[in-house]
Amino acid sequence: MEYKLHETSSYSRIRRIPSSNSRIEIPAIEEEEEEEEEEEEEEAEMVLLPSLFDGLARSVSMKKGKNQNNETDGGREAAESMAKDAKKNEMMLCSSGTVNSNKSNDFASICSKRGQKGTNQDSAIVWEKFGCQEDMIFCGIFDGHGPWGHIVAKRVKKSVPASLLCNWQKALSLTSLPHQLGTEFNSTFHHSDIWKQSYLKAYADVDLELKHHPGIDAFRSGTTALTIIKQ
C-alpha cells in the first residue's frame, strides 16, 4: 500500500498510488553532505520498539486528560530513537546512495548533482524497515523555498518520519479499542484510512512545530514534501 503526499505551505494532498511498482527512485537533487546531529548527544540504547509501541498503544487507549501530552511526547521520543537506530544500522539514507530491500528486488536510491544556484534547499530521505516493519520503506523529497527554505526542508525531513510513526501507532491503538471494550467496529475503516489520517495529523503537527520554532521564520519560508510509504 502506498501513499503520495504533496504539501505546499499548510495544505496537504494525499493520493493513493498502485502497489505494483517494483522500484522506487528518488530523482536527482543537488549534492550536499549533511552531517546532521552526528555529535549532538550520546546515542540512546537500542529499544525493543514493538514492545515500546505496544505500551504506547495501551497508554493512548486507557489514559485521559493531561497524561495525553506525556503519551504523545513518549511516542515521539520512541520514534526519534528508532530513527537514530536506523541511521546507525545503515537502514536510513540521507545522501547519495542506494538502499536495497532484503525481502524483495525493490530498492530506493538517492542521486545528487550539483547545480548552479545558491544555497541548496533540497533534502531527501530513504528509510528501510520503517516502523520496524520488514517489508516497509519510507521515501521523501523536501524542496525548500524562501530565505529559510533550506533549514525548513531539513527540519521537516527529520520531523515527518517520526511524527508519522507516532500518529500511525496512535491510530492503530484507537482502532483496536472497540475490540478491547467488546463493542462493534466499523469495518469500513480500512488500513488505508489509518495511513491517511496518520499523514494528515503528522503534517498538521509539523506545521505547528515550525510555526512555534524560535529559530525559523516559517511565515516567509517553507517546503514542499513528496513522501511515499511502500509495503
Evaluate if residue 123 carries a pLDDT over 70: yes
Beta bridge partners of 123: 142
Non-local (6+) Cβ contacts of 37 within 8 A are none
Using a pLDDT cut of 70, give the percent of the chain over it. Answer: 54
* CA neighbor of 34 nearest in space, from 120, 117, 94: 94
- More confident: 152 or 116: 152
Phi, psi of 34 (to 5 degrees): -110, 120
- Are 105 and 134 spatial neighbours (Cβ–Cβ below 8 Å)? no
- C-alpha distance from residue 126 to each of 4, 65, 99, 120, 166 (Å): 14, 36, 7, 19, 18
Mean pLDDT confidence for 101-130:
76
The answer to whether the pTM exceeds 0.75 is: no
Evaluate if residue 105 carries a pLDDT over 80: no
Within the chain, strands assigned E span 2-8, 11-17, 24-29, 92-93, 97-100, 107-112, 122-128, 137-145, 222-230
Non-local (6+) Cβ contacts of 208 within 8 A are none
- More confident: 164 or 83: 164
Mean pLDDT confidence for 30-50:
41
Across 4-8, 84-88, 153-157, the highest mean pLDDT is recorded for 153-157
Non-local (6+) Cβ contacts of 202 within 8 A are 160, 163, 164, 166, 167
* Domain residue spans of the chain: 2-14+49-60+69-179+188-230
* CA neighbor of 25 nearest in space, from 102, 114, 97, 129: 97
Per-residue confidence (pLDDT) for residue 171, from 0 to 100: 84
Per-residue confidence (pLDDT) for residue 81, from 0 to 100: 85
Evaluate if residue 206 carries a pLDDT over 80: yes
Evaluate if residue 78 carries a pLDDT over 50: yes
DSSP element (H, E) containing 191: helix 191-211
Evaluate if residue 89 carries a pLDDT over 50: yes
Mean pLDDT confidence for 78-107:
74
With cut-offs at 50, 70 and 90, classify the pLDDT of residue 23: very low
DSSP label at 176?
H
β-bridge pairing 222-230 and 2-8? antiparallel
Evaluate if residue 140 carries a pLDDT over 90: yes
Evaluate if residue 108 carries a pLDDT over 60: yes
Mean pLDDT of the chain: 69
Cell of 175: 482502532
- More confident: 78 or 64: 78
* Helix runs in 40-107, H state only: 49-62, 67-88
Across 79-83, 204-208, 212-216, the highest mean pLDDT is recorded for 204-208
- Could you give the CA distance from residue 86 to residue 68 in angstroms, rounded to a whole number? 27
Mean pLDDT confidence for 103-131:
77
Evaluate if residue 3 carries a pLDDT over 60: no
Per-residue confidence (pLDDT) for residue 100, from 0 to 100: 61
Residues 170-196 pLDDT 10s: 888 877 655 544 444 454 457 778 888
Per-residue confidence (pLDDT) for residue 217, from 0 to 100: 82
Query: How many Cα atoms sit within 13 Å of 113 on the Cβ side?
Result: 3
- Are 78 and 47 spatial neighbours (Cβ–Cβ below 8 Å)? yes
Beta bridge partners of 12: 7
